């Protein structure tokens, strides 16, 4: 039985020992809360004294939980000049595809912490290009063009125009959910 989790990851659950639909199905899942061997959690019920309430050894219910990991991280491209920013926006217009620009600073701990998580999201959206700008390494004109006042700021651009942004000053998982929601709404 498969369930959908609140994020784009799927939660796979199986009971007892049914055969998986494909031999590599469970190999693509990573275990949650189980050891390296992927042991599941055994639940025993009806351990009373009567015959009806007893379950023999091996007759328990076995439930294993896995997260289906669908995305591989994609390295974000750096924008370090006005020309590269113009090139990224031109690509967006020519290909009618959105881009995400992460405005960050090397001294910003939250920015550094969010970078690999954004790269993971980049793997979830193959049609969207992800870029980052280190505001300390670019001319001030580039920062002004993005209208950046706080960091990290993650912006959604489409057809060469700014459409939406997420300012990432709170918990990382909330920021990532907001970025996913921003992409879904504006894509």
Q: State phi, psi for 68 to the nearest 5 degrees.
A: -80, 120
From 74, 101, 108, 166, active-site residue: 108
From 85, 100, 111, 179, active-site residue: 111
| Contacts of residue 170, Cβ cutoff 8 Å, sequence gap at least 6 | none
Cα–Cα dist 5/125, whole Å = 18
* DSSP-assigned states of every residue in 54-96: ---TT-SEEEEEEEE------PPEE--SHHHHHHHHHHHHHHT
What one-character DSSP code corresponds to residue 20? P
111 counts as catalytic: yes
29 counts as catalytic: no
* Residues β-bridged to residue 167: 153
Give the active site residues.
108, 111
């Amino acid at each position: 039985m498969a369930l959908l989790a609140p994020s784009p990851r799927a939660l796979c659950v199986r009971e007892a020992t049914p055969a998986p639909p494909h031999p590599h199905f469970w190999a693509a899942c990573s275990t949650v809360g189980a050891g390296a061997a992927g042991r599941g959690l055994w639940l025993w019920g009806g351990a009373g004294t009567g015959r009806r309430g007893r379950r023999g050894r091996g007759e328990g219910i076995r439930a294993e939980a896995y997260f289906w990991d669908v995305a591989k991280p994609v390295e974000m491209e750096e924008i370090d000049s006005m020309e590269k920013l113009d090139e990224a926006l031109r690509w967006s217009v020519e290909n009618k595809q959105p881009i995400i620009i992460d405005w960050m600073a090397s001294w910003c701990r939250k920015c550094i912490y969010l970078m690999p998580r954004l790269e993971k999201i980049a793997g979830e959206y193959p049609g969207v290009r992800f870029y980052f700008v280190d505001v300390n390494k670019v001319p001030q004109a580039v920062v002004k063009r993005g209208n950046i006042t706080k960091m990290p700021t993650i912006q959604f651009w489409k057809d060469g125009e700014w459409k939406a942004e997420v300012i990432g000053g709170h918990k990382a998982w909330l920021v990532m959910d907001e970025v996913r929601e921003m992409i879904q709404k504006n894509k």
